[in-house]
Amino acid sequence: MTKRKLKIENLLNLGFWLAAIVIICVMSTFVFKRFDLTSEKRYTLSEPTRELLADLDDVVYFRVYLDGELPSGFRRFRRAILEMLDEFRVIGGQNIQYEFVNPTDQADAKARDDFFMHLYEKGLHPTNVDITDIEGGRSQKIIFPGALVTYKGLEMPVNLLKNNPARSADENLHNSIQALEYEFASAVYSMASPANRKIAFIEGHGELDEMLTGDIMKELSLYYDVYRGRIDASDPGILDDYDALIIAKPEDRFAEPEKYMIDQYIMKGGNVLWFIDPVAIDLDSLTYASEAIALLKELNLEDQLFRYGIRINPDLIMDMNCVMIPVNVALSGEQPRFDPAPWYFSPLLRPDPTHPVTRGINPVKGEFVSSIDLLEGNPDVEKTVLLRSSDNSRVVNAPLVVSLDMARRAPDPSQFNMGEQVAAVLLEGRFRSVFTNRMIEDIIGRDDPGFIGEGSPASMIVVSDGDIIRNDVRIESGRPEPLPLGYDRYSGQTFGNKDFVMNAVSYLLDDAGLMDLRTRELSLRLLDRPRVREEKLKWQIINVFLPVLFVLLFGLIFNISRKKRFAK
């Protein structure tokens, strides 16, 4: 082959490949395709999220307060957040904007503290992390692993860190990464949804007031319109405008017309959260007396809940897996001395790790919890246990005397042998009315031609402890203020009560299907830390010199091959 022919052939090959590249580039402007090669589809957004982002008509701005000097785990967390927001931008385009902010990057200490307080008041929760410098020194740093999301003038805090004390730091970060799509998508959905959902707290039966439910009402108001009110039995459709009802620890009897209104609301597809205490006793009643009597309540709800498929028993659960309370251990006549002691009537309820409502949340703190029986009889209703006690539990029937001396005495493990007890149940399906075959006119004073005996699909969650939704109250500058729901003032821990209630409401009102994202599983691939410490030098040498050796070897083989080719 002459040099001229070789030159023409090379030019033709060059022209062919240049033309192919140009054609591919032009086609790529019309056709967009991405490939997720991970086994669990880590970088693939769910269809509800994609639809939500594609329908945005304005900019959603994410301001993430996780930047600056961070431990390796939180750097990985930051990278996962960045990747998730990039995935959002792929679908949402220019309607998705974000920035990362270092909250400690302030002019002076006072400005930094003021900024920290500003973020806290906005609803972001801080956490302490250990920082190791180059010389091996250790220090603590406050970070805010969360974001403020704004859309059309609305702003919503999103706390991204799932901090369960029972899990390791790596597991908590992994669970937080798994929940990123849900946390961001649910925030966007709440602000972009055209119609606000309505929730009503029922009053008129001694339910928890606005102060004792203040924290959860504040949190719910970020996503929904929250109301409080009595049931007016003279107005047939008074409950129809609400998407969910919350009945929070009633103390007094429900009248039959009120029960009828709730029953027909459920038959029409309404959702209800029941927080019911069948036994009347409170830990505060033991503050000024060493013992109190736990008596049965007359709520007149037993037949209604029985008809729907569950029975709340008139008893109390005692669990060796419980919270600690301060108890005076000094002898009579001595100066009071308080030591922490287990309070078996405040069990730490275990969430179902697989269900969207309870997956990944901390144990839920209960107080005088009763057991629940699941009843058969209606195959159209599916029952799912959400909360339960530990295996080391027992049940005591009411009425009974409850004394603080029970915390002072060492427990007999042989008595805590009744196994786990059910404390919260999700019921889904077509419920049957408790007023079927009854004279409606005798109940509500008029005939109801629209009476429904078997309803549309509906959902309800029944919890056998009204205190799960009750927050403590502190006096600040002479004024009462609600403490965070789930916060235990004695231990300083925050349990999963708020997450449980918020997830329960979200599940019942989940039209967009986003709650299914909470069941998403990503493989947890952790380094073998002991092996890393032992083989640190070996892997450093491999990572530094092996790529260089590979490049040199490739260059040597290429040159030898080239010389042989042109020698011919």
pLDDT tier, 137 (very low <50, low <70, confident <90, very high otherwise):
low
Burial of 5 (0-12, 13-18, 19+ CB in 10 A): exposed
- Same-domain check for residues 186 and 218: no
CATH assignment of the domain containing 183: 3.40.30
pLDDT in tens, 374-415: 998 889 999 999 999 999 999 999 999 988 888 777 788 888
- Same-domain check for residues 115 and 248: no
Query: Is pLDDT at 132 greater than 70 in this prediction?
Result: no
pLDDT tier, 318 (very low <50, low <70, confident <90, very high otherwise):
very high
Alpha-carbon Rg of the chain, whole angstroms? 30
- Is residue 409 one of the residues assigned to a domain? yes
pLDDT in tens, 104-123: 888 788 888 899 999 988 88
Query: Is pLDDT at 134 greater than 60 in this prediction?
Result: no
- Is residue 449 one of the residues assigned to a domain? yes
- Same-domain check for residues 217 and 134: no
- Same-domain check for residues 183 and 300: no
Task: For 54-93, give one letter per residue: b (16+ CB within 10 A) or e.
Answer: eebeeebbbebbbebebbeebeebbebbeebbebbbebbe
The pLDDT assigned to 527 comes to 61
Burial of 492 (0-12, 13-18, 19+ CB in 10 A): exposed
- Same-domain check for residues 144 and 216: no
pLDDT tier, 253 (very low <50, low <70, confident <90, very high otherwise):
very high
Place of tokens 């075959």: 437
- Same-domain check for residues 187 and 200: no
Burial of 185 (0-12, 13-18, 19+ CB in 10 A): buried
- Is residue 69 one of the residues assigned to a domain? yes
Tell which of 148, 172, 191 closes a domain: 191
First and final C-alpha spacing in the chain: 12
In this predicted model, which residue has the larger pLDDT, 1 or 567? 567
Most confident of 353-357, 363-367, 559-563: 363-367
- Same-domain check for residues 159 and 219: no
Neighbours of 112 (CB within 10 A): 15
- Same-domain check for residues 200 and 321: yes
CB 301 within 8 A of CB 259: yes
- Same-domain check for residues 293 and 396: yes
Strand partners, 474: 481
Tell which of 142, 159, 191 closes a domain: 191
Please give the Cα distance from 83 to 445 (Å, whole number). Answer: 61
Please give the Cα distance from 506 to 511 (Å, whole number). Answer: 9
- Is residue 36 one of the residues assigned to a domain? no
Mean pLDDT of 451-479: 92
Mean confidence (pLDDT) of the chain: 86
- In the chain, the number of structural domains is 2
Contacts of 196 (CB under 8 A, 6+ apart): 224, 225
- Is residue 528 one of the residues assigned to a domain? no
List the single range of 96-100, 168-172, 350-354 with lowest mean pLDDT.
168-172
- Is residue 176 one of the residues assigned to a domain? yes
Helices marked H in 392-454: 405-408, 440-444
**Token couple for 59:** 């900019």
- Is residue 185 one of the residues assigned to a domain? yes
CB 166 within 8 A of CB 363: yes
pLDDT in tens, 335-352: 777 788 899 999 999 999
Domain extent, residue 311, equals 196-519
Helices marked H in 429-568: 440-444, 497-508, 529-534, 536-567
Please give the Cα distance from 540 to 262 (Å, whole number). Answer: 67
Mean pLDDT of 92-97: 92
Query: Is pLDDT at 46 greater than 60 in this prediction?
Result: yes
- Is residue 13 one of the residues assigned to a domain? no
- Same-domain check for residues 281 and 181: no
- Same-domain check for residues 208 and 187: no
Q: What is the pTM of this model?
A: 0.80
Burial of 469 (0-12, 13-18, 19+ CB in 10 A): buried
Tell me the C-alpha to C-alpha distance, in Å, between residue 102 and each of 112, 140, 148: 10, 15, 13
Neighbours of 162 (CB within 10 A): 22
Mean pLDDT of 34-56: 76
- Same-domain check for residues 186 and 209: no
Tell which of 487, 502, 519 closes a domain: 519
Kindly report the length of the chain.
568
pLDDT in tens, 461-473: 999 999 999 999 9
Place of tokens 């709650």: 515
Instruction: Put the strands of the sheet holding 146-151 in their side by side order.
Output: 96-100, 60-64, 146-151, 154-159
CB 454 within 8 A of CB 466: no
Please give the Cα distance from 489 to 511 (Å, whole number). Answer: 37
